[in-house]
Amino acid sequence: MNEIILLKLGEMVLKGLNRRSFEDKLQANIHRRLNRFGQFRVYTRQSATYVEPKDGSCDVQGAYEALKKVFGIAGLSLARPCEKDKDAILAAAREFLDDRLRAARTFKVEAKRADKTFPMTSIQLSQYVGGELHEAYGSLSVDVHHPELTVYVEIRDFAAYVHANAEPGAGGLPVGINGRAVSLLSGGIDSPVASWMIAKRGVALDMVHFFSYPYTSPEAKEKVLELARLLTPWCGVLTVHVVPFTAVQEQLRRSCPEELFTIVMRRFMMRISQEVAARCGAKALVTGECLGQVASQTMEAMAVTGQVVSLPILRPAVGMDKEEIVQISRRIGTYDTSILPYEDCCTVFTPRHPRLRPTLAEVERAEEGLDIEGMVRAAVEGVERVQIRP
């Protein structure tokens, strides 16, 4: 029989009456992610999801690697299905795990009998398979506490399944189950990590990027699009809304006190992002802000920045230190692109002495002479939409 992919669900199994909606969303996400690897049958039984190739043309290994980045999957393993018979199970274990059994020095067998009609108990089945494997592979020793290799046997509704240690999945919740948000994506380290973190909580994303040509280069824009591409294996298809931001920044430079420039600029980013969110049906904004990291990320500055929008602002990285953010960036594959030396709009017209604790009153005074609605409308009307696929 062909190999299948056995998926373990994480916190989804704790859901109540709405659990089915989570499972349906996960299955839909899996189907979309696996389209390029062939036709698979995906179904859920007894808190496990099965991914079975429909024919021999399927790229099972490619599908397996892709599923490691699908949110909602806590663990996954390649498994060999076989008849629910002790000798068939033993034969499947010897054939499917032969290389691993020869390479390991210690092992154990763990059996799980979800189908209670199977004539042996879990302990009896573990002892039988373990004893036969120990005899067949003379170099193997049994270690029930810290084995190099664990042979898993699962007796389920339709078949028995043999597999080795499961690999960790992406965890979290299926993308889209918690609605849609707009994430402000710069070219730095923090915003791709924040986007990944909020997608892990089941949120589908649109991206907005503020582009200030000629102060920022076309290479800086391409860097951001590459960051979005690197996020698509986790987040699925992404639309990047590239906002022309030069006119806004030039106007603010002429009109605003230098020490308040960054705060006023970020307020415009929020206003524009909320308009983009309204157009794509998003219910929240996401930023990579980290408390105290830069002048615009003090509590006072974030309060003044967020005052201009009615949507909630999600800041998943707000309590992390830089090293924690960098570690995630390396793990998800965005770090090397994030550190490429291309400037973004936040480095344009940076004040020498930014105000650390601005008040709402002084910032609103700085904005009094501005045509806020007109500036926001012009920026939104000039948005370029770029769709990025995995």
Q: Token digits for 108?
A: 């154990």
Burial 71-81, CB ≥16 within 10 A → b, else e: bbbbbbbbbbb
Q: Token digits for 380?
A: 């939104």
Query: Is the model more confident about 211 or about 344?
Result: 211
Query: Positive or negative CA dihedral for 210, 214, 217, 222?
Result: positive
Q: How far apart are CA 227 and CA 193, in angstroms?
A: 10
Q: How far apart are CA 98 and CA 100, in angstroms?
A: 6
The answer, yes or no, to whether residue 348 has pLDDT greater than 80, is no
Q: What is the pLDDT averaged over residues 134-155? A: 94
**Cα-trace Rg, the chain:** 26
Residue 16's pLDDT is: 81
pLDDT band at 1 (very low <50, low <70, confident <90, very high): low
Q: How far apart are CA 267 and CA 269, in angstroms?
A: 5
Q: Token digits for 235?
A: 């987040």
User: pLDDT by residue (tens digit) across 229-271?
Assistant: 999 999 999 999 999 999 999 999 999 999 999 999 999 999 9
Rounded-to-10 torsion of CA 79, 80, 81, 87: -130
Q: How far apart are CA 240 and CA 187, in angstroms?
A: 13
Residue 332's pLDDT is: 97
Q: Residue 66 carries which side chain, given as an amino acid letter?
A: A
pTM of the model: 0.90
User: pLDDT by residue (tens digit) across 66-118?
Assistant: 999 999 999 999 999 999 999 999 999 999 999 999 999 999 999 999 899 99
Helix, strand or coil, per DSSP, at residue 343: coil
Half-sphere exposure of 75 (CA within 13 A, CB side): 11
CB 12 within 8 A of CB 173: yes
The answer, yes or no, to whether residue 6 has pLDDT greater than 60, is yes
Give the residue ranges of DSSP H helices in 111-260. Answer: 122-136, 190-199, 218-235, 246-255
pLDDT band at 346 (very low <50, low <70, confident <90, very high): confident
The alpha carbon of 268 is separated from its chain's Cα centroid by a whole number of angstroms, namely 28
Q: Token digits for 92?
A: 């499947």
Q: How far apart are CA 34 and CA 127, in angstroms?
A: 37
| Residue 29 backbone phi and psi in degrees, to 5 | -65, -40
User: pLDDT by residue (tens digit) across 9-65?
Assistant: 888 877 888 888 999 999 999 999 999 999 999 988 877 889 999 988 999 999 999
Q: What is the pLDDT averaged over residues 307-325? A: 96
DSSP letter for 71, please: T
Q: How far apart are CA 37 and CA 60, in angstroms?
A: 7
For all residues of the chain together, what is the average pLDDT? 94
Q: Residue 379 carries which side chain, given as an amino acid letter?
A: A
| Residue 141 backbone phi and psi in degrees, to 5 | -115, 150
User: pLDDT by residue (tens digit) across 115-135?
Assistant: 999 999 999 999 999 999 999
Q: What is the pLDDT averaged over residues 183-205? A: 97
Q: How far apart are CA 7 and CA 76, in angstroms?
A: 4
Spatial CA neighbour of 388 closest among 225, 192, 244, 273: 225
Q: Token digits for 379?
A: 């920026």
Q: Kindly give, in sequence order, each residue whose CB lies less than 8 Å from that of residue 379, ignoring residues fewer than 6 positions away.
A: 243, 244, 245, 247, 248, 268, 272
CB 38 within 8 A of CB 61: no
The answer, yes or no, to whether residue 148 has pLDDT greater than 70, is yes
Of all residues in the chain, the percent with pLDDT exceeding 90 is 83
Spatial CA neighbour of 105 closest among 70, 163, 146, 152: 146
Spatial CA neighbour of 223 closest among 344, 50, 386: 344
Cα angle 247-249-251, degrees, rounded to a multiple of 5: 70
